[in-house]
Structure 1
């Protein structure tokens, strides 16, 4: 029922010749742990309305067959950690015998099965039917969710005609509410209030406010409910979490005379400032909710059409599911970060404020580099928001959700985000302030580095690596990840050296370029690796090292799919969410140096092949993404294409289970997009690795310059037998490099790739390889990026 492939159908026309929204399916990745938000949202919108389920509810809705517990108004998309947000859900029902106390109030008591084949998910719109006959549809503005609830006609119980009832629950998806207030207006039925909740992957707590109005029916009575009982008095309530493990459940309710068409419209404004602000948001954005639904949906659709408009395809017989996969992935990259400008209660500023950077460890590699291409004006606002956070909180965030500081996973990866945008010519940013913020990450240690900045900087500066069981008395965090933090700090410092060089600070450029080589200090040349007692045959791996510079040990396959998952909160290790095998390929700025350290190109390729074929590679995890294309650096770009085509569409496809893990706020989506486009970024550098696209032609019009870049395939084969580049031209001239810079997009170049069925010599010579720090081109690398 939920497979979205049209196996025998192929699209023979250019996707840009019809409405692009027909190729967007928000249900992709909503099952099997993808955690994608399927509901109604604007691009980067704050209000996000959907039906919440009792099963896989991290993103709200999943077609997993579990029950619907409510309809809530704010969500994150594709995240790991605990389920996020989903506050103040509405729930429509009839009460048996028309007695309020006969209603089902707690969420798991009232839950009802959805009619799965009734679900409609489109950009800016979501609807479904429940097995009890209720129907719901929803759309949104920036800060307001708009619902139409249709109650079955002629509902009776024991001969008594039933009146529609709307419940509002003072909870969130994960039941983290600490306390809440609610006020019900006796005459209008307006319900407003707030609640204090916990973030899903971070510290502290946050307060969210709401304002719910109803239209289309006359109010009979209303009040509040607690646990399993309700009353018409009082009209307001303050509720705490409850005692020990007992979660006190409560909310408000309104009963209506049944309208002739059975439809009750609900308008829910949300705000981080106050309940009054939530009401004004709703009133300003939707002053006439009863008649606004269709126009609101149309505005949302048009907003998405504009966002998707820079990219068009010539598909030449490609299966339609590939087109759906591609455009749906573009859509998912723009669900978050979320634009909360004007809604930040933490400090006063005229700068933009974005939230749900969840987390930059995931987003810096592919999602934000993609937005640098197709939405540079919004990226500029995001960068300004990150810098404004630095100015008011003292640190660039590495992860942020619901106004809270998220946990730092590796290095200070906002550094990479800023430098990548600098190299991609994002305008409107104070780049000297950006350098100041990154230098702060590199030089100063916060007291609580689990939330921001870098820990272990004393050891980093003195020993040039992060030690195993580091003695760090300056600050506090999870004292683990010594290998992955050493590798990531090395790259963070490389990015800082790049920005310093570009801004004319030669001394800082030299200083941080030297620190960019610290990754070498944890390479143990004689370390072996075995699987189930059998030696893999490869020697030399990163290993932890103590403060006294003696070696520790971590099994190179630990934290891989062959063993246990390692995170901050469970089974912490010296590599974060990845094995030593996985992290051995993460030296983005000096792949040539890494290749030599691992024995040269042939041995490097053999090691890569073993990694991918042995089950050690976890394609659901972001550190793997660049390693799919690492063959480029060893002079075998055809093998990158072969590897990429083995993952798309096998693991990234147009089904509800079409992701291998969390979408990670659009990171997996961006991996899909770049792979299908045939260009893959090395974030923090002006480098895109060239591969064979999945379409005859992909064209991208730069919003910054209004020039159109095109990647065109000669001898394109929609069965994907001809996926190896034989030769290439750039603007009609022979082009042998296996990479290209961002000017390809801004200057509107045409890259034509001639494809064949066998690997060729294209892109294989030393002169054709991407720049690396330790090569002759690498010493001038930062100059090449401007």
Structure 2
């Protein structure tokens, strides 16, 4: 099934296409995002720098794609380059057609093209010696590579990658196609995939190489898949040959030299499918019927401009604007619209794939898409429901037609509850309850000794003991008893929100009790959420600073996880001895242990609001923002499918979602004004005219022109197109400290 891109603009007339080509040609030589340019002349798209996060631990890629596109064509830099397959300080070993952004382990890297001049002795081991002139913008990438003296340019449509190679050197122009190319992580156990077998064919008359390649692995040794492809070229082959090395497969294609001293230019269009060569060829015919690289680039730019233009900001420094729009860009990279590429058993319904890191994205990405891309978010939720309807479970992560592991709880529950609370249109909420109810009440494997791919780990033990014991499994170390119990309780709260409409009285009563089981992990003697054994004893020895993925915690320690009760912060405040004690201890936590890019703790800076101290939230959010920058290492941690980037977007805007419920915290806006184009056609405006690096505290507020004395607002306030005005000052005041507190399960603590 061929389909238009979900955000594609309408087809333009030939005149408008010509104008767009001029704009696109100018863009391909535009200054980088950090260059000096008048602010008024720069559209949101022109502030994006895809190289932010390409050194350090961001695990992102700089190549060309469309928002939520099926194709992400990008350079690869070999083993050790992380999930995105690319590190800016490494040399290039190919340009492959599919990537994921910001994951812990690599995936895809299918079908690489590598241009060169002169002889190529080992086509499966090609690496540039130097690179220069590397630039990127949304929908475009270019680089010059030595020793071959060749310029590479990339752009993309929804399903097709376009390559343009300009050979300046005197040697024989050639392109090496590697059908077995994959991305490799830093450890053998994290290989992205292992090529198994393939079939390739060269059709000189069509100027095509086509075929298929099968793989196994990709973070799960038990899964396999096959990729079909077509690569079509605009120039005839002067010579061509297939090559094979062990399980590697590819083709070497030679082209004529340029005439009269001019460089040779070769364009190619590459399409993939998980069904057939014919389907891949169909994408070529429909989306790129000709060889106009600039037209494709201009169309990609229009699509990105529309997506990024949904939030317009005023004020802030050049670096802050670059950080903001680059983060917003990253939010649009995953998941990916694979409609027509779903497994046959799913039929032809809209289908999203690479719904990864649900355990992270529920916090920031999905609530943001609900505001600015509700049709996409509904597609994501409906795909999760299709996973349930077709294969039995929503899962917690999914890629390349397969479930991936469940990290802690069943985070799909929170994504569903968030959409339900906010009235996300286009979802069958009765079916949604059926799906999340299964997560809450059915144990996929009560005796499991491994991290599951569906459901909740050892749910039967949790239901019996009212917590997950650290010794639930003797054979499996990473029980994560505290982390899982806390997330299960939050998941139960999320499921309860739908149960009140669609569940039975017994289900409602059970979930109402279970949402409070987080307190069973609270050790009053130490003042932390602590692991417990089956017999009820506390886990020992206990060190609140011991970070682990192990018996008690996941990717953190007691200082990380003892604040994770999102649905009942009033109850958590009571456990800590009241608002003052809670505020003091939380201050210690965010001063010494907070990492904005470690998702279990992301919410901590906003929790002061529940204790009536929004001034602390304002201070610590701004402090956390100082760890980001517009440099290539300016993304301080793994982007986790856009989760960290979405945290940055929200925190710079000055509001932050409470996932699974219908309210948002008021933080400390970086910009003087932000206008959000909402999915319902209205606009939400947040004004903070005096905001600056020093003026970070809210002294007064108005919502809809009326005084506003609480540090949170409802989703309905945003969706009706209200204006929130914040008067900022350098020193904290008493604003909202006596106002209404955000919702919570327990009664208020004093």
The answer to whether the superposition gives a TM-score over 0.5 is: yes
* 1:92 equivalent in structure 2: 115
- Output the CA distance in 2 between the equivalents of 1:623 and 1:370: 18
Listed as ranges, the matches of 1:522-533 within 5 Å are 522-527=521-526
Alpha-carbon offset, residue 6 of structure 1: 5.3
Contact persistence 2:596–2:644 (CA under 8 A): no
Contact persistence 2:214–2:227 (CA under 8 A): no
Query: Does 1:712 pair with 2:736?
Result: no
* 1:154 equivalent in structure 2: 170
* 1:238 equivalent in structure 2: none
- Output the CA distance in 2 between the equivalents of 1:554 and 1:417: 36
Listed as ranges, the matches of 1:415-434 within 5 Å are 415-434=413-432
Alpha-carbon offset, residue 758 of structure 1: 1.5
3-state SS of the aligned residue for 1:511? Answer: helix
Which of the numbers 614, 620, 625 marks the counterpart of 2:602? 625
| 1:13-69 deviations in Å (ceiling 9; x for gaps) | 5xxx74221111111111101011211011100100011112653354645321110
Which of the numbers 377, 387, 390 marks the counterpart of 1:389? 387
Listed as ranges, the matches of 1:682-721 within 5 Å are 682-704=658-680, 706-714=681-689, 716-718=690-692, 720-721=693-694
Contact persistence 1:310–1:703 (CA under 8 A): no
- Output the CA distance in 2 between the equivalents of 1:42 and 1:518: 44
| 1:343-369 deviations in Å (ceiling 9; x for gaps) | 012523232211112210111111111
Contact persistence 1:127–1:138 (CA under 8 A): yes
Query: Does 1:129 pair with 2:144?
Result: yes
Contact persistence 2:337–2:351 (CA under 8 A): yes
Which of the numbers 644, 648, 673 marks the counterpart of 1:672? 648
Which of the numbers 438, 450, 453 marks the counterpart of 1:451? 453
Alpha-carbon offset, residue 506 of structure 1: 5.3
| 1:321-374 deviations in Å (ceiling 9; x for gaps) | 111111111111010001111101252323221111221011111111111111
Structure 1 residues 123 and 327: CA distance shift in structure 2, 3 A? same
- Output the CA distance in 2 between the equivalents of 1:163 and 1:73: 21
* 1:182 equivalent in structure 2: 199
* 1:726 equivalent in structure 2: 699
- Output the CA distance in 2 between the equivalents of 1:619 and 1:197: 36
Query: Does 1:509 pair with 2:532?
Result: no
- Output the CA distance in 1 between the equivalents of 2:476 and 2:499: 29
- Output the CA distance in 2 between the equivalents of 1:640 and 1:713: 16
- Output the CA distance in 2 between the equivalents of 1:439 and 1:503: 10
- Output the CA distance in 2 between the equivalents of 1:113 and 1:747: 56
Deviates more, 1:190-199 or 1:372-381: 190-199
Which of the numbers 268, 276, 279 marks the counterpart of 1:277? 279
| 1:243-283 deviations in Å (ceiling 9; x for gaps) | xxxxx433222222224441111111101112222222222
- Output the CA distance in 2 between the equivalents of 1:183 and 1:4: 39
Structure 1 residues 60 and 498: CA distance shift in structure 2, 3 A? closer
Query: Does 1:257 pair with 2:256?
Result: yes
| 1:646-699 deviations in Å (ceiling 9; x for gaps) | 121x22222210111111110010000000010011100112000120011111
* 2:54 equivalent in structure 1: 30
Contact persistence 2:179–2:213 (CA under 8 A): no
Which of the numbers 532, 537, 542 marks the counterpart of 2:529? 542
| 1:528-566 deviations in Å (ceiling 9; x for gaps) | xxxxxxxxxxxx111111112222236344553xxxxx3
* Structure 1, gaps ≥5 residues long: 97-101, 156-161, 228-241, 243-247, 528-539, 561-565, 779-786
Contact persistence 1:365–1:667 (CA under 8 A): yes
- Output the CA distance in 2 between the equivalents of 1:541 and 1:416: 24
- Output the CA distance in 2 between the equivalents of 1:465 and 1:446: 18
Alpha-carbon offset, residue 499 of structure 1: 1.7
Query: Does 1:222 pair with 2:240?
Result: yes
| 1:73-108 deviations in Å (ceiling 9; x for gaps) | 000001112x22102211112233xxxxx533122x
Contact persistence 2:204–2:236 (CA under 8 A): no
Which of the numbers 552, 556, 568 marks the counterpart of 1:578? 556
Provide runs of 4+ in structure 1 moved above 6 Å: 9-12
Structure 1 residues 80 and 688: CA distance shift in structure 2, 3 A? same
Structure 1 residues 557 and 660: CA distance shift in structure 2, 3 A? farther
CA RMSD of aligned residues (A): 2.3
3-state SS of the aligned residue for 2:386? Answer: helix
3-state SS of the aligned residue for 2:744? Answer: coil
- Output the CA distance in 2 between the equivalents of 1:190 and 1:222: 11
3-state SS of the aligned residue for 2:346? Answer: coil
Query: Does 1:749 pair with 2:722?
Result: yes
* 1:461 equivalent in structure 2: 463
Which of the numbers 231, 244, 247 marks the counterpart of 1:213? 231
3-state SS of the aligned residue for 1:577? Answer: coil
* 1:782 equivalent in structure 2: none
Query: Does 1:166 pair with 2:182?
Result: no
Contact persistence 1:72–1:88 (CA under 8 A): yes
Contact persistence 1:186–1:221 (CA under 8 A): no
Contact persistence 2:70–2:159 (CA under 8 A): yes
Query: Does 1:662 pair with 2:638?
Result: yes
3-state SS of the aligned residue for 1:685? Answer: coil
Which of the numbers 436, 445, 455 marks the counterpart of 1:438? 436
Contact persistence 1:469–1:479 (CA under 8 A): no
| 1:404-445 deviations in Å (ceiling 9; x for gaps) | 211110000000001101112111100011011111001101
* 1:536 equivalent in structure 2: none
- Output the CA distance in 2 between the equivalents of 1:10 and 1:138: 25
Query: Does 1:594 pair with 2:572?
Result: yes
3-state SS of the aligned residue for 1:526? Answer: coil
Which of the numbers 605, 616, 621 marks the counterpart of 1:644? 621
- Output the CA distance in 1 between the equivalents of 2:749 and 2:501: 17
Contact persistence 1:544–1:554 (CA under 8 A): no
* 2:9 equivalent in structure 1: none
- Output the CA distance in 2 between the equivalents of 1:42 and 1:654: 22
Which of the numbers 102, 119, 122 marks the counterpart of 1:78? 102
Alpha-carbon offset, residue 707 of structure 1: 1.2
Structure 1 residues 11 and 600: CA distance shift in structure 2, 3 A? farther
3-state SS of the aligned residue for 1:119? Answer: strand
Which of the numbers 712, 730, 742 marks the counterpart of 1:770? 742
| 1:168-208 deviations in Å (ceiling 9; x for gaps) | 34221126324121322252342222223245434632324
Listed as ranges, the matches of 1:316-331 within 5 Å are 318-331=316-329
- Output the CA distance in 2 between the equivalents of 1:768 and 1:203: 52
* 2:355 equivalent in structure 1: 357
Query: Does 1:204 pair with 2:222?
Result: yes
Alpha-carbon offset, residue 479 of structure 1: 5.3
* Structure 2, gaps ≥5 residues long: 1-30, 185-190
- Output the CA distance in 1 between the equivalents of 2:39 and 2:229: 48
3-state SS of the aligned residue for 1:171? Answer: coil
* 1:140 equivalent in structure 2: 156
| 1:112-147 deviations in Å (ceiling 9; x for gaps) | 13424x111111111111022111101111121110
Structure 1 residues 554 and 435: CA distance shift in structure 2, 3 A? farther
Contact persistence 1:40–1:48 (CA under 8 A): yes
Contact persistence 2:208–2:233 (CA under 8 A): no
